[in-house]
Amino acid sequence: MSPKVERPLPPYLQILQSIRSQIADGAFAEGAPIPSERHIASEWGVSRATATKVLAALRSEGLVESIQGVGTVVSAQRPVGNSAQDRFMTMRRTGRIYGSGEHAKITAAELVSASNDVAEALGVDHGAQVIKRERVTFQGDAPVSASHSYFDGALAEVAPKLLETERLTEGTPGYIQSTTGRIASTGRDQVTARAASAADAESLGVEEGSPVRVSRNWLYDTEGGVIEYGESVSQAGRWASYDYDVTQ
């Protein structure tokens, strides 16, 4: 069945997101050709001008490149990010929490006392027991990000796998939904940059003091309660893309 343009997103943005997702998920491998302007226009029922705009946006993002005599192909290197939004959107699209070529290793899962920052972020008392999961994400064999996720300690009884270092294939939001019925509804990310600490350098294989991207994220349920609070650090030079509607 041919894809159909839907509202309210502009047609070019719908097509852009579709191709971008297929690249991220590995449907279009590195070096593989992507649909031509003519093919995009015919398949989606849009003008050639719209198709041209899509390919220009993909080139601008560094996802594809034009090769004389070959056409437009997926770039050999795609410096993509690993933000919380990246992971959650991949999970919604594919049922997997990580994209093609990515995998994660859970290095620790334990109950700890909440620091002031973590307690405030989760809405629990300072010093209360919280679940802490430490994760390193790899692209191939290279570590690209390290993160800590925190959950209310009360989940230890109803969602005991949060205290195991086995990776949850459905992702923590999916597992928590299946055990508690709490549905992830909205998220919030904060991003900044700083010099890599000694711990960052060890996790990511970079020089201490080199630039890294740092983020904090909150995942909320339909009642506004915090399901998960996370802190992560990733190598510099890895883009994270965000699409949003400015008409609302």
Spell out the domain ranges in the chain.
11-74, 84-235
User: What pLDDT sits at residue 109?
Assistant: 97
**Residues 162, 149: Cα–Cα separation, whole Å:** 10
In whole angstroms, what is the distance from residue 209 CA to residue 193 CA? Answer: 12
Hey, which bits of 114-208 come out as E strands?
129-139, 142-152, 184-195
Helix (H, G, I), strand (E, B) or coil at 44: helix
Spatial distance between the Cα atoms of 78 and 157, rounded to a whole number of angstroms: 41
What is the pLDDT, as a whole number, of residue 164? 96
Look up tokens 């041919």; give the residue.
Answer: 2
pLDDT at position 245 is 60
11-74 to CATH, choices 1.20.1250.20, 1.10.10.10, 3.40.50.300, 1.10.1060.10: 1.10.10.10
- The answer as to CATH 3.40.1410.10 being correct for domain 84-235 is yes
Which residues sit opposite 211 in a β-bridge? 195
- Residue ranges for the chain with pLDDT beneath 50: 78-79
CA distance 6 to 45: 12
Q: What is the pLDDT of residue 79?
A: 46
Q: How many CB atoms lie within 10 A of CB 16?
A: 22
Instruction: Tell me which residue has tokens 């050639």.
Output: 48
